[in-house]
A and B are shown apart, each in its own frame.
Chain A
Amino acid sequence: MATMQKNKKTVVLGMSGGVDSSVAAVLLLREGYDVRGVYMKNWSKDLPSMRCPWARDLADAKRTAVRLGLPFEVWDFEEEYRKSVVDYMLTAYADGETPNPDVMCNQMIKFDAFARKAFASGADYIATGHYARVSDNGELMMARDAKKDQTYFLCRVSSDVLRRTLFPVGELLKTEVKEIAASEGLDAINKKESMGVCFVGEANIKEFLREFLPAEAITTGRVVDIDSGEVMGYHDGQLFYTIGQRHGLYLTSDLPYYVVVKNVNDSDIFVTHNLNHPNLWTRELLLKNVHNISGLDLESGKYFIRVRHQAPLVEATFDAVDKKIIFADDQKMVASGQTVAFYSASTDGVCLGGGIVSSDGNSTK
Chain B
Amino acid sequence: MINLDNAAAARLDAKALEAMLPYLTGDEYLNPSAAYLPALAVARKYEAAKNQIASLVNASGNNLIMTSGATEANNLALSAARGFAGSAVLVSPFEHPSVVASAAHGCGSVEVLRATPDGFVDLTDLAAHVTDETVLVSVALTSGDLGTIQPIREISEIIHRTRQERIKRDLRMPIWLHVDASQGLEVLEVNIARLGADMLTLNSGKLHGPKGVGALFVAPAMGINLTPLIYGGGQEAGMRSGTENVAGVMGFAEAVRQIAKHRKATFRQLQEYKTELRAALVESFGAGVVFLGNPKKQLVSHLPISFPDYDAERLIFALENSGILVSTGSACAARKNEVSPALRAIGATDEVIAGSLRISLSSENSCREIPRIISALRLALTDENRAI
Known: A67-B321, A70-B384. A62 touches B336 (CB 8 A): no
* Smallest CB separation, A249 vs chain B (Å): 36
Which residue on chain A has the smallest CB distance to residue B318? Answer: A66
Q: Indicate if the CB atoms of B336 and A52 lie closer than 8 Å.
A: yes
Bound CA–CA A50/B289 (angstroms) = 36
Complex contacts, A56 vs chain B, CB 8 Å: 335
The yes or no answer to B13 lying at the interface (CB within 8 A) is no
Q: Indicate if the CB atoms of B317 and A66 lie closer than 8 Å.
A: yes
Bound CA–CA A62/B318 (angstroms) = 10
Bound CA–CA A72/B317 (angstroms) = 13
Complex contacts, B321 vs chain A, CB 8 Å: 66-67
Chain A, 44-59, CB within 8 A of any chain B CB: 51-52, 55-56, 58-59
Which residue on chain B has the smallest CB distance to residue A185? Answer: B321
The yes or no answer to B337 lying at the interface (CB within 8 A) is yes
Q: Indicate if the CB atoms of B384 and A67 lie closer than 8 Å.
A: no
The yes or no answer to B382 lying at the interface (CB within 8 A) is yes
Which residue on chain B has the smallest CB distance to residue A73? Answer: B388
The yes or no answer to B95 lying at the interface (CB within 8 A) is no
The yes or no answer to A63 lying at the interface (CB within 8 A) is yes
Can you name 15 A-B residue pairings with CB atoms under 8 Å?
A52-B337, A55-B336, A55-B337, A56-B335, A58-B337, A62-B317, A63-B317, A63-B320, A66-B318, A66-B321, A66-B384, A67-B321, A69-B382, A71-B384, A72-B314
The yes or no answer to B271 lying at the interface (CB within 8 A) is no
The yes or no answer to B254 lying at the interface (CB within 8 A) is no
Known: A59-B313, A72-B314. A66 touches B336 (CB 8 A): no
Which residue on chain A has the smallest CB distance to residue B338? Answer: A52
Which residue on chain A has the smallest CB distance to residue B382? Answer: A69
Partner of A62 from the list B314, B382, B383 (CB cut-off 8 Å) is B314
The yes or no answer to B385 lying at the interface (CB within 8 A) is yes
* Smallest CB separation, B133 vs chain A (Å): 31
* Smallest CB separation, B320 vs chain A (Å): 8
Bound CA–CA A69/B385 (angstroms) = 9
The interface of chain A, by Cβ under 8 A from chain B, is: 51-52, 55-56, 58-59, 62-63, 65-67, 69-73
- The contact string, 1 if C-beta is below 8 Å from chain A, for chain B 303-320, is 000000000011001101
Q: Indicate if the CB atoms of B384 and A62 lie closer than 8 Å.
A: no
Which residue on chain B has the smallest CB distance to residue A189? Answer: B317
Partner of B313 from the list A62, A69, A73 (CB cut-off 8 Å) is A62
* Smallest CB separation, A73 vs chain B (Å): 5
Bound CA–CA A355/B318 (angstroms) = 45
* Smallest CB separation, B318 vs chain A (Å): 5
Q: Indicate if the CB atoms of B337 and A69 lie closer than 8 Å.
A: no
Complex contacts, A58 vs chain B, CB 8 Å: 337
Which residue on chain A has the smallest CB distance to residue B311? Answer: A62
* Smallest CB separation, B323 vs chain A (Å): 13
* Smallest CB separation, B201 vs chain A (Å): 23
Known: A66-B385, A69-B384, A71-B384. A55 touches B335 (CB 8 A): yes
Bound CA–CA A52/B318 (angstroms) = 23
Chain B, 327-350, CB within 8 A of any chain A CB: 335-337
Bound CA–CA A65/B386 (angstroms) = 13
Bound CA–CA A56/B337 (angstroms) = 9
Bound CA–CA A37/B320 (angstroms) = 20
Bound CA–CA A58/B382 (angstroms) = 20
List the 5 closest A-B pairs by CB distance, nearest first.
Answer: A66-B317, A63-B317, A55-B337, A66-B314, A71-B384
Complex contacts, B388 vs chain A, CB 8 Å: 72-73
Bound CA–CA A274/B113 (angstroms) = 66
Bound CA–CA A66/B311 (angstroms) = 11
- The contact string, 1 if C-beta is below 8 Å from chain A, for chain B 355-388, is 0000000000000000000000000001111001
* Smallest CB separation, A334 vs chain B (Å): 39
Complex contacts, B317 vs chain A, CB 8 Å: 62-63, 66-67
Chain B, 103-122, CB within 8 A of any chain A CB: none
Complex contacts, A69 vs chain B, CB 8 Å: 382, 384
* Smallest CB separation, B254 vs chain A (Å): 34
Complex contacts, A51 vs chain B, CB 8 Å: 336
* Smallest CB separation, A185 vs chain B (Å): 9
Complex contacts, A62 vs chain B, CB 8 Å: 313-314, 317
* Smallest CB separation, B200 vs chain A (Å): 29
Bound CA–CA A265/B336 (angstroms) = 42
* Smallest CB separation, B304 vs chain A (Å): 21
Complex contacts, B383 vs chain A, CB 8 Å: 71
Complex contacts, B320 vs chain A, CB 8 Å: 63
Complex contacts, A71 vs chain B, CB 8 Å: 383-384
Complex contacts, A70 vs chain B, CB 8 Å: 384
* Smallest CB separation, B180 vs chain A (Å): 22
Residue among A52, A63, A66, A72 with most chain B CB within 10 A = A66
Complex contacts, B336 vs chain A, CB 8 Å: 51-52, 55
Chain B, 177-213, CB within 8 A of any chain A CB: none
Which residue on chain A has the smallest CB distance to residue B336? Answer: A52
Bound CA–CA A55/B318 (angstroms) = 18
Which residue on chain A has the smallest CB distance to residue B384? Answer: A71
Residue among A51, A70, A72, A73 with most chain B CB within 10 A = A72
**With A62-B317, A66-B318 already in contact, 18 other A-B pairs whose C-beta atoms are closer than 8 Å:** A51-B336, A52-B336, A56-B335, A59-B313, A59-B335, A62-B314, A63-B320, A65-B314, A66-B314, A66-B317, A66-B321, A69-B382, A70-B384, A71-B384, A72-B314, A72-B384, A72-B388, A73-B388
Which residue on chain A has the smallest CB distance to residue B313? Answer: A62
Bound CA–CA A66/B319 (angstroms) = 10
Complex contacts, A67 vs chain B, CB 8 Å: 317, 321
Which residue on chain B has the smallest CB distance to residue A54? Answer: B337
Complex contacts, B318 vs chain A, CB 8 Å: 66
Residue among B314, B383, B384 with most chain A CB within 10 A = B384
- The contact string, 1 if C-beta is below 8 Å from chain A, for chain B 270-296, is 000000000000000000000000000
Complex contacts, A66 vs chain B, CB 8 Å: 314, 317-318, 321, 384-385
Which residue on chain B has the smallest CB distance to residue A67? Answer: B321
Bound CA–CA A91/B50 (angstroms) = 59
Which residue on chain B has the smallest CB distance to residue A63? Answer: B317
Which residue on chain B has the smallest CB distance to residue A36? Answer: B384
Which residue on chain B has the smallest CB distance to residue A58? Answer: B337
* Smallest CB separation, A38 vs chain B (Å): 11
Bound CA–CA A192/B69 (angstroms) = 30
Complex contacts, A55 vs chain B, CB 8 Å: 335-337
Complex contacts, A73 vs chain B, CB 8 Å: 388
Bound CA–CA A63/B312 (angstroms) = 12
Bound CA–CA A51/B335 (angstroms) = 10
* Smallest CB separation, B316 vs chain A (Å): 8
Bound CA–CA A70/B382 (angstroms) = 11
Bound CA–CA A69/B382 (angstroms) = 9
* Smallest CB separation, A104 vs chain B (Å): 26
Bound CA–CA A51/B333 (angstroms) = 12
- The contact string, 1 if C-beta is below 8 Å from chain A, for chain B 216-229, is 00000000000000
